[in-house]
Amino acid sequence: MEGVGRVFGLYRDGVTSADDEVALAHGTPADGYRPLSEPLVNIRLALADAVEERVIEAVTGNALLEASRVRFYPERAWGRLYEDAERLGVAEEERARLRAWVAATRPNAKRDDAADALRAASEEKETRVPSFTFERTVFWQRLVRTTARAGGGAEPTMAADVLRRARVTLDDWRNLTRLALLNELVGIEAQLMGITATPDEIGSAAQRFRRERGLSSATATREWLAREGLSEREFTERMRLDVLTDKLLDSFETALRREGSVALELKSQGRFSALTLEAAREREKLARHGADDDISEVDLVAWYERRFRPIAGTLEEEARWRGFGSRIEPLDEMRRVFLSER
């Protein structure tokens, strides 16, 4: 940040540090925010100029500044200052000179500094790179969420109709809102941790998305997006969130396993007991028959895809997506399942 103007100089040089010196009482929007008071910095600098130009004596300037300083900021005004001058015994001739000087010059340091700042910004040629770390506080995130505009997709009125219908007809409405919340939190946490998604990573996520939905061509993808009312910008943003989610999962993988968060979710969904029985049967069979087999990797993957689900992409991509450290780990797990079901 580069300071501009006399008011900035007062704070930089330690002449004042009080925030009420720049405070201003003003009217309502209907009133055009008309000023109802005079900031003390304006009075301070105007009195200094009046002393320098010999409109008033230095002792008068100091006395009037102190009288204004002790007032509550909405009560500071030139009219009140003239009343203070009379009360303090300033000579009538000196008071008249000050009143005439203020009327002629209309001193307003804050206004002048604002004009200078705009002028300096318009004349700036060099691109400034900030050297600070921007803190994305909860207040910033709230501002982003409340001011963001949705682009593309269905018309707002239609989108509202769709959401109203979905709210009462979809069995998984609550889960949808939870997923939407998680996406919001993913974006926030990724920003706080400095995690980003590169164009290549977003492109890979888009390829996986298309493969999972059988969208084998660009035309099929465009038709699908158009049918669902998903704009290109929204699609790219969703793929970005998918990348950030995967990266956050990688970051928290150890904690998720240690704290049992995934196990807790399986239990609450009623899926843990069935998996427990399957794992017990697998362990028993492997203990009886051993883990040796002569099935090739290609045949093993083909069996897995027939038995469970197609693998979207390469085995390396599948391994990363499921939280494995290498392609060997999922192959070992596939082999254990194959042997236990053989």
Question: pLDDT tens digits for the chain (342 residues)?
Answer: 789 999 999 999 999 999 999 999 988 888 888 899 999 999 999 999 999 999 999 999 999 999 999 999 999 999 999 999 999 999 999 999 999 999 999 999 999 999 999 999 888 777 777 777 777 777 777 777 667 654 444 455 667 778 778 888 888 888 888 888 888 888 888 888 888 999 889 998 898 889 888 888 888 998 998 888 888 888 998 999 999 998 888 888 767 766 577 777 788 888 888 888 888 888 888 887 776 677 888 998 899 889 888 887 788 888 877 777 788 888 888 888 888 887
The residue extents of the domains of the chain are 6-123, 138-259, 291-341
Give the chain's radius of gyration (CA, Å): 35
One-character DSSP codes across 158-216: HHHHHHHHHHHH-TTHHHHHHHHHHHHHHHHHHHHHT----HHHHHHHHHHHHHHTT--
CA distance linking residue 296 with residue 305, whole number of Å: 14
Model confidence pTM above 0.75: no
Backbone angles phi, psi at 51, to 5 degrees: -65, -45
Phi-psi region of 236 (alpha: psi -120 to 50; beta: other; left: phi over 0): alpha
Q: Which residues contact 225 (CB under 8 A, 6 or more apart)?
A: 231, 232, 235
